[in-house]
A = this chain, B = another copy of it.
Amino acid sequence: MIYLDNAATTFPKPNSVYDALDKANREFAFNTGRGSYKAAREATKIIDETRIALMKLVNAEGLGDVVFAPSITIALNQIINGIDFAAGDNVYVSPYEHNAVARPINLIKKLKNVNIIEMPVVEDTLEIDLEKLKYMFTQQPPKCVLCIHISNVTGYILPVKDIFSLAKKYDSITVLDTAQSLGLMSVEMNNLNADFIAFAGHKSLYGPFGVGGFITTGKVKLNEYIVGGTGSDSLNLNMPEGYPYKYESASPNIVAIAGLNAAIKDLDIETIYDHEKELTDYLVEKLSEIREVTMYLPPKDKHVGIVSFNIKGYRAEDVGMILDEDYDIAVRTGYHCAPFIHKWLKDEEYVGTVRVGIGRFTKKEEIDSLIRDIRDVI
């Protein structure tokens, strides 16, 4: 199989990740941090070490906290529901948001009657229109800005630093979704003016399922949302105060965290980025030579890793099915859990897009096969 669905989950992972997971399962899958014995305390060290590794990754060692959650979706639910929203608050989202943001914020809208405002885009390139956004902020000042870093539909790298700088003039809370970016490109918490950086272990970080979370400056306190045992302060019916423990209930998934730890150690961001960017540009070049193909492309230097396209006369899912059944190529098709962007892509006649998700282990020959097979289909 040629695996080109790395935007859904990266596969394979480095061998060191598999080895770390297997070792953790067999040797120290204890309930950490709440025990009174060496083995549990040793396991706790790996968790602490991984927190530090993540803080380093966003160039903020010692400047905030890491909260682990079972997934980035849970983390985003905790952040979005933890913010003290009031009726009428203006909440800005990019039109590239994933349902891991769009659905929680829609729930808040129903519960608290906030205004959800989509950031404007420049019509021809579908880039965020910063000038227009700046003006919109003057009219409807933001309480919170939620933004995906790299679109999981088009690979567009959003101008997060600019967006959050504008937002911070209004003391807005800023939340960044790095499911597709952390581990692939530079993500600096302070430089980007991000209060919360949500991350997914199993995507661009090349870790396993079962761990995600958020990194935070700690300046914004969140209300409790998911609560349970913490192995501490057991007689207290509220969660213990403060980051990270207030937000980490249930037994920590020490196995997944150990896998993530190994994954972070194996990252070489610059090399991975260059490789993915090279293959992305190569894929775009080759696809652009096929007359029947329509791509949904951001400007050349503003996208990486993901390419969405359609073939004239085929629904997206038909292309996916043919590539799978006849050529053993795995791509993803449809709307990709991104509810807002398709009105701009105007891909409804294809029922979404065919998405190629490139990964660090993708080979140029695999792109060549894909191109050859697409030519064969049409």
Interface residues of A (CB under 8 A from B): 1, 3, 5, 8-9, 11-13, 17-18, 21-22, 25-26, 29-31, 34-40, 70-74, 76-77, 98-100, 102-104, 106-107, 202, 208-210, 224, 226-231, 234-239, 249-256, 317, 320-321, 323-325, 328-339, 342, 352
Contact = CB atoms under 8 A, between A and B. Distances in A.
Nearest to A227: B103
A5 B30 contact: yes
Contacts of A320: 35-37
A278 to B, nearest CB: 25
20 contacts: A8-B30, A21-B21, A29-B208, A34-B332, A37-B331, A70-B70, A70-B74, A73-B226, A73-B249, A74-B226, A98-B229, A99-B230, A103-B229, A103-B249, A104-B228, A208-B255, A209-B252, A231-B337, A234-B338, A236-B339
A230 B237 CA distance: 32
Contact of A209 (B12, B104, B251, B336): B251
A102 B230 CA distance: 12
A317 to B, nearest CB: 6
Contact of A336 (B9, B102, B234, B321): B234
A9 B25 contact: no
A5 B329 CA distance: 46
A210 B251 CA distance: 9
Nearest to A153: B234
Contacts of A106: 227, 237-238
A317 B36 contact: yes
A9 to B, nearest CB: 4
Interface centre among A202, A235, A325 (most CB of B within 10 A): A235
Interface centre among A3, A5, A29, A229 (most CB of B within 10 A): A229
Contacts of A336: 234
Contacts of A210: 70, 209-210, 253, 255-256
B229 A337 contact: yes
B202 A37 contact: no
Contacts of A3: 39
Nearest to A343: B235
Contacts of A25: 13, 17-18, 21-22, 208
Interface centre among A26, A250, A336 (most CB of B within 10 A): A250
A100 B228 contact: yes
Contacts of A227: 77, 99, 103-104, 106-107
A239 B37 contact: no
B36 A332 contact: yes
